[in-house]
Structure formats: structure tokens, C-alpha cells
Amino acid sequence: MIPTPRFALLLAAAAALSGCALMTPKPPTAAAPAVTYTGTPQEQWVQGQAAYLAWSAARPGWTTTESGLQYHVAKKAKASAPKPEPGAVVTIHYVGKFIDGRQFDSSRDRGEPATFPLDRLIKGWQEGVPLMRVGEVWDFVIPAAIGYGDRSRDPIPPGSALLFEIELVAIPG
């Protein structure tokens, strides 16, 4: 049997495609630049916090206020749901984490929401929670300047950016 030109073309195409299946992908030619931190461990910690804040501010769907508070609405409520006034007493569920994902506090783990007067909380909460409506869940990234600043508050090291998931449960009486 003599191969026809069409059969020969199909045979050549099959051979070429089978060679592609055996090829291994090439590794990327340029690696991401390494980040180098300098100074004391505390200075390196603060540099890492600043790098995270810069990265986080560029995420789609996130808003950054003039103070540096970053927020994202994870669950919206009806437009008619009430908002707390600055200084109001609020009942919230929250989960607090460091930028590396380690959790440092959680009302959810305790199985009970917490009730606080807003004016007794960190500035990031004082600014962010009044933007929320009852029933909403927001994610916050709070820079140290509007969190605990340079103070150490066990287990939170000085200069820490903090991540919070906050659900506004109620605005009591």
C-alpha cells in the first residue's frame, strides 16, 4: 500500500503533536525580586507590615480611607438597615488576625458576640464600624497607626497591622 499525500500529512501532524506531549515546560526566566529587610527584628517586623499594607491597598474591591484604614464589604445588608453613630454601643462578632493569618482573638470562638462602646475601641474600629449597616460583614486591614501603634498589647507586637472580619450584629438601645 502506498501512502497518499493526505495520509502522510496526517502522520506528520501526529508525530509533531506527540513530540509536544513529551516536552517539559520551561521554568520562568525571571523570578520575583527578593524582599530584603534590614535593621533590628522589630524594624524588620514594621517593614513587613508596610509591605503588606501596600500590597493590600492594591487589591480589587478594597477601599482605603485617608487614615489608611482598608475595608472590603464581604456581605451587604439592606440599604434600610441602621448604621451606628460614632461613639454608639455596638454588638459585633469579630475575628482578629495578624497579616500572616495567625488568629489572636475571636468572639466567634467564644460563641458569643461582644458589646462595646465604639469610643473605647481602637481608632480603626471607631472609623470603620460606623460605615457598616446592621447585618453586614466587612473585612478590615488596620494599620498600626490606627490600631495599637507602637504599644505592645499581648499577644499583639508593637507596629502591627491587624486584620479583622467584623459582623455588625446590633446597635443596642
Catalytic center residues? 94, 104-105, 122, 148, 164
Contact in structure between 69 and 143 (CB atoms under 8 Å): yes
Cell of 159: 507596629
Non-local (6+) Cβ contacts of 103 within 8 A are: 95, 96, 97, 109
Between CA 36 and CA 81 the distance in angstroms is: 47
